[in-house]
Structure 1
Amino acid sequence: MHGITIVGGGIAGLALAATLDSGRFHVTVHEQRNTLPTVETSLAMWPEAQQALATVGILPEIQAAGSAFEAMALRDVSGKAWFRAEVAGVIGVSRADLLRLLDAAVPETVARVFGAVTSLPGPGLVVGADGVHSVVRRERWGPRSLERLSPYLALRGIIDEPVPVDEGGEYWGRGELFGIAPASRQRTYWYASYRSDLGPGGVDVAAALDLTRRRFSGKAPGIGRVLAGAAPEATLAQRIWTVPALRRYTRDGTVLVGDAAHGMTPNLGRGACEALVDSVVLAGLLNSRPLPEALRAYNKRRVVRSQALRVASSAMTRLVLAESAQPLRDRILSVAGRLDRST
């Protein structure tokens, strides 16, 4: 049996461990923590990610635990809707539920090691599934691959109140974003982003939440209602980090998946989806082909697509959080909304 060591027991690492052939590989997963996230957030599962979850064998449970998206209204920060974008076929699911179900799908034959990884384990193939701050990427790809700090702060949380029909969607302001979406029939997922000097590490959540309330004060009533119900213990506040462009995800007996390979801004909602697809594609290739051929095929299938999404997500961030260009952006969106309603 060949040895595979997965560094990182998050979405990408667990999905890979769950789909590798246990008769072909001896798999070990290294994870820093052995508990689920203490703060709930929601993730959008696009159709490609749902296909990956079906391969893992947990799609029915995800569908039962999540909530279906139908449309997303795009608004200015006063609450006026420019238009509604169709997002049929997308499922919103709690990150904690997704991790719990992925963890349960991992075979008992997979060895678990808990604790921080500071250098690459071995021998055998090493998989970097350790996120945007990847030790594996740093060790194998060098200083040019180090994560990059963006100027933006992101807050996310869930409140125990349903989303009013006329208040859901994304609110775009001058250098600021606020989103409201259903987490379930009785709960609401919310997120906000704007330029901030807080952090970069150990952001004080209460201070960030207070800053967000002040920033969005006097804007759309729906935003005010959500922030009134938000509590620090149910909120996640982090600076946004990204990974620079990589031409290959394999090097010297290592391979990268998920955010370790293509950590991107969250504005397209594709980070978790692409992590799932990476892992299922890599597992399928390793299960069916010799190792060198499998790694070459993985690069061919995943690098161009995931890097294109990384670039597109950055472009979307610049559009959503535009400052000097915000008036022009809003006029264009207003015209686009009127044209959409007239057709």
Structure 2
Amino acid sequence: MFKFNFPSENQDETDTISDDLNSSGKTSLQEIDGQEIEISNDHFQKIKKYRESCSSTSLVRGFHLVDLKYVEELVTSQKSGEFESLKTAIKMNSDVISGVYEGGLKIWECTLDLLDYLNKESVQFDGLDVLDLGCGAGLLGMHALRKGAHSVHFQDYNTEVLSLCTIPNVILNNNPDVKSKTNFFAGDWGSLHHKLKSYDIILTSETIYNPENYRKLIQIFEEMVKKNGVIYVAAKHFYFGVGGNVYEFEKLLRQNERWNTSICFCSTEGVKREILKIVQSADQNHQRAKYDLSASQFSPDGRVFQVEYAQKAVENSGTAVALRGKDGVVFAVEKLVTSKLYETGANRRIFNIDTHIGMVKS
């Protein structure tokens, strides 16, 4: 029997998102028009029933969550035409059916990774505007509310997830005035730009499994994050089957040179999972600053930027960037960025191979 699952201590950490494509064989999300789902009086009237539906198995990281057995029973008992996306997921015994149901009723491991990270690092939310993107049960947004966020917007692909799970969870864990601090949006990312606002922090988990949707996600970042805002993306390092992975997503982010990225968490056991921290480049015109070669240590012959000299230059200034010249690959250094050449993941910061050929002298 299909179940919308909470994580457990014995959960197999090898979930993959692989074969559940739509009937056309395409993996990108269908363009479902964005819409706002309001907290209704009916939600508040049912709060007693929501509380009764909770059990010890639905207490996750200190949050009371609606018992998903109750959600499943409610879905399957409804007449034809209601909750069809969730009924399809139940019928197919699937956590994700791309373009139909995007896994919002499962608590994924990466969500807990990000929740734990936010707690451990005491990330501040007081007075800030926050977006929980691909929210599912809403754990990340509820954490922001608990930490004093000024407002939290919750977005999920499926209307049913928001109505049956997210909104009840938010009510269960907050004061009655929560309605004035929250908004809920359903639909495809590409249809939500005119409904969402600007945010100080964007939190998202398990949303980069499908490379077909990367540009839509990045467009949300570009249009919705405030000038000094921060984005946290929690994800598995690689998604078998559909091929999404942190490296390719980070690579695409860097193409327009607007973003600085860093890996702020990496799992040490089980399936490799990471948290990507994204901020806007200090150059608000989105143009990479010229390299200050006076800060660089060239090799003795003045021609080739050897690795050992690149390392010294990085220690003195910034990021090593690979350049291709007629004598082979050389290096330049950008003073404005402070990552180190041999840090974990620093190989990802060797980019723009052909962009700055004019800087190479030989």
TM bin (shorter chain): under 0.3
Richer in helix (by share): 1
Larger radius of gyration: 2
TM-score by length of 2: 0.23
Richer in strand (by share): 1
TM-score by length of 1: 0.24
